């Protein structure tokens, strides 16, 4: 009987602790919006991957869906949890996933990981950041496709699981500017 009572006490304390963390806003670090306060080092590392990709996404040299998708730099992921471990994000990088196209449009989701903080600073946290968003492109007879970006609130768990435990999410608008 005493064992059951003790287990209930532990479970109750755990639930209360989780509720306090949730209500106090403690938990994983997240950066939202342009004035997020993100670490400059990690922001620059993300932008080193994002800037060239943004040019490819929004100012492509081709005007048809299939060549547009083929010209995008980054690792491709099929969205299966079992294949995520095949991706090497140890130095950061771009992963393209959830890719689809029609004769007149494309959709592609983008995951970008900063890679480890460089230079490494003892005790600096988070050690890495990541972001994700979706880009839609419509191809008409204009010289350039019309593109739009949708910010995502979360990134696929199999990709996040490849990063250090203290890696922090940063909304795509953190890097606008």
In sequence order, which residues have a C-beta less than 8 Å from that of residue 36 and are 6 or more positions away?
A: 170, 171, 174
Query: Which pLDDT score, from 0 to 100, does residue 61 have?
Result: 86
Neighbours of 145 (CB within 10 A): 22
Q: What are the pLDDT digits (tens) for 74-114?
A: 999 999 999 999 999 999 999 999 999 999 999 999 999 99
Cut 0.85: pTM above it: no
Closest CA to 56 of 96, 12, 100, 23: 96
Question: In the structure encoding, which two tokens stand for residue 158, read together?
Answer: 């199999």
SS3 state at 46: helix
- pLDDT recorded at residue 1: 46
**What CA–CA distance (Å, rounded) separates 59 from 145?**
8
Q: What is the pLDDT of residue 22?
A: 36
Which residues, at least 6 apart from 160, have a Cβ–Cβ distance to it below 8 Å? 130, 167, 169
First CA to last CA distance, the chain: 62
- Residue 135 phi/psi, 5-degree rounding, is -120, 130
The encoded tokens of residue 63 equal 């005007």
pLDDT, residue 5, reads 52
Domain positions in the chain: 31-175
What does the radius of gyration of the chain's CA atoms come to, in whole angstroms? 20
The helix (H) or strand (E) run that includes residue 30 is strand 30-31
Encoded tokens for 150: 């949708």
Per-residue pLDDT of the chain (177 residues; tens, 9 = 90+): 443 454 344 444 333 333 333 333 445 688 887 677 788 889 999 999 999 999 999 999 888 999 999 999 999 999 999 999 999 999 999 999 999 999 999 999 999 999 998 777 776 779 999 999 999 999 987 778 899 999 999 999 999 999 999 999 999 888 876
């Amino acid at each position: 009987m005493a064992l059951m009572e003790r287990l209930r006490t532990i479970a109750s304390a755990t639930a209360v602790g989780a509720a306090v963390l949730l209500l106090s806003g403690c938990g994983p670090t997240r950066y939202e919006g342009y004035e997020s306060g993100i670490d400059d080092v990690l922001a620059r590392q993300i932008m080193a991957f994002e800037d060239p990709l943004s040019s490819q996404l929004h100012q492509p040299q081709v005007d048809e869906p299939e060549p547009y998708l083929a010209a995008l730099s980054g690792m491709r992921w099929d969205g299966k949890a079992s294949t995520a471990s095949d991706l090497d994000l140890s130095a950061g990088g771009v992963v393209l996933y959830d890719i689809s196209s029609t004769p007149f449009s494309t959709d592609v989701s983008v995951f970008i990981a900063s890679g480890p903080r460089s230079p490494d600073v003892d005790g600096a946290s988070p050690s890495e950041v990541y972001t994700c968003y979706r880009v839609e492109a419509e191809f008409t007879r204009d010289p350039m496709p019309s593109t739009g970006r949708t910010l995502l609130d979360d990134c696929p768990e199999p990709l996040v699981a490849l990063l250090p435990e203290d890696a922090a999410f940063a909304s795509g608008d953190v890097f606008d500017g």
